[in-house]
Amino acid sequence: MKNPRPKKKHRWLITFGILSILVIAPFSAYPLSYQPQVIAQSAYEQATQKQGYYQFVVPSSNVGVIFYPGGLVNPNAYAAFAQTLSSEANASVFVTQPLWNLAITNIEGASAIIKANPNVDHWIIGGHSLGGTSAAFYAIDHLEQIDGIFFLASYTTEDADFSQTSLPILTITGANDEILDQETYQAAQIYHSPITTNYVIQGGNHSQFGDYGLQRGDGIATLTQIEQMTETLMVMITWLSVVTLI
């Protein structure tokens, strides 16, 4: 399942671009970071906080899911999603808390989680938006440890080309998403493995893969955040049940 180590020049370009946003953001109309809503924050308060990540652990499970949050989104905004996924999929779920709420600043964040949980036999990694892209960079460099990758309103790049691997991939997008670059998303399909599942949530948008309100520039969803999360979980749990048997 391994393939040659990818060139990393584009990773630095992405990082530079994000850091430029950080410099400009305080002087613009954009919030420096989107914050969790009440339900997400309540779920986070039931999580176990670790150094650089929080977790919902199922001690009897040998499946671990590592989640990289979207760019400039407080990771706590994904706590309700993570808690429900852990409960319904019978899996331990870990959400990274990167510097400046940017997963690209801590691509290797999954390594500490994997090291701290030797009882887990099946590791799945993924994330939302920039978090999914960052997770792909990790997965391509650690193919021997990863059993699957998922992208929520996200995509991989040529620096994380899975086309010559047998790594199971899941992508979930929202039909009303106006933040995800659809042209780039479609072009990135050539970097997916042959074992890829693509799913579109009708009426879903970009923001509601987390619970942090409406992101500036996003489309209006015709589903509630809970409805979109429920559909996302249904698809993910079905996919996970297959992936962990491969």
Within a domain: residue 41?
Answer: yes
CATH label of the domain that carries residue 186: 3.40.50.1820
On whether residue 2 sits in a domain, the answer given is: no
Phi first, then psi, for residue 47 (nearest 5°) are -85, 165
Angle between helices 130-141 and 9-24 (to 10 degrees): 150
Over range 180-192, report the average pLDDT. Answer: 97
E-strand ranges in the chain read 48-50, 53-56, 63-68, 92-96, 122-128, 148-152, 169-174, 196-201
pLDDT band of residue 11 (cuts 50, 70, 90) is low
Is residue 22 within 8 A of residue 141, CB to CB? The reply is no
Q: What is the pLDDT of residue 132?
A: 98
pLDDT at residue 1 is higher than 90: no
Beta pairing class for 122-128 and 53-56: unpaired
Residue 224 has pLDDT above 90, yes or no: yes
Across all residues in the chain, what is the average pLDDT?
A: 91
Q: Is residue 137 part of a domain?
A: yes
Percent of the chain with pLDDT over 90: 85
**Chain Cα centroid distance, residue 132:** 4
Give me the domain span that covers residue 110: 34-243
- Look at residue 126 and give its three-state secondary structure: strand
Whether 64 maps to a domain, the answer reads: yes
Per-residue pLDDT for 20 more than 70? no
Contact assessment for residue 22 and residue 164, using Cβ atoms and an 8 Å cutoff: no
Choose the weakest-confidence range: 2-11, 30-39, 78-87, 121-130: 2-11
> Would the pLDDT of 31 be above 70?
no
Q: What 3-state DSSP class applies to 53?
A: strand
pLDDT tens digits, residue range 55-110?
999 999 999 999 999 999 999 999 999 999 999 999 999 999 999 999 999 999 99
Give me the percent of the chain exceeding a pLDDT of 70: 87
* Mean pLDDT, range 24-38, rounded to an integer: 67
> For residues 229 and 232, what is the distance between their CA atoms, to the nearest angstrom?
5
Q: Is there a contact between 34 and 66 (Cβ–Cβ < 8 Å)? A: no
**Count of domains forming the chain:** 1
Task: Give me the amino acid identity at 173.
Answer: T
* CB-based burial label for 197 (10 Å; 0-12, 13-18, 19+): middle
Instruction: Tell me, yes or no, whether 1 lies in a domain.
Output: no
Average pLDDT over residues 167-189: 97
pLDDT at 208 over 90: yes
Is the predicted pLDDT of residue 24 greater than 90, yes or no?
A: no
pLDDT confidence of residue 178: 98
Eight-state DSSP code of residue 106: G
Residue 174 lies in a domain: yes
**Tokens, residue 162:** 């899975």
This model's pTM is above 0.85: yes
Q: Among the listed ranges 12-21, 28-37, 110-119, 221-230, which one has the minimum average pLDDT value?
A: 12-21
Q: Has residue 59 been placed in a domain?
A: yes
Query: Exposed (0-12), middle (13-18) or buried (19+): which is 21, by Cβ within 10 Å?
Result: middle
Length of the chain: 246
Main-chain dihedrals φ then ψ at residue 171, nearest 5 degrees: -120, 135
Instruction: Locate 48 and state its tokens.
Output: 């176990």
pLDDT, tens only, 35-57: 999 999 999 999 999 999 999 99
Average pLDDT in the 12-30 region? 46
Whether 233 is in a domain gets the answer yes
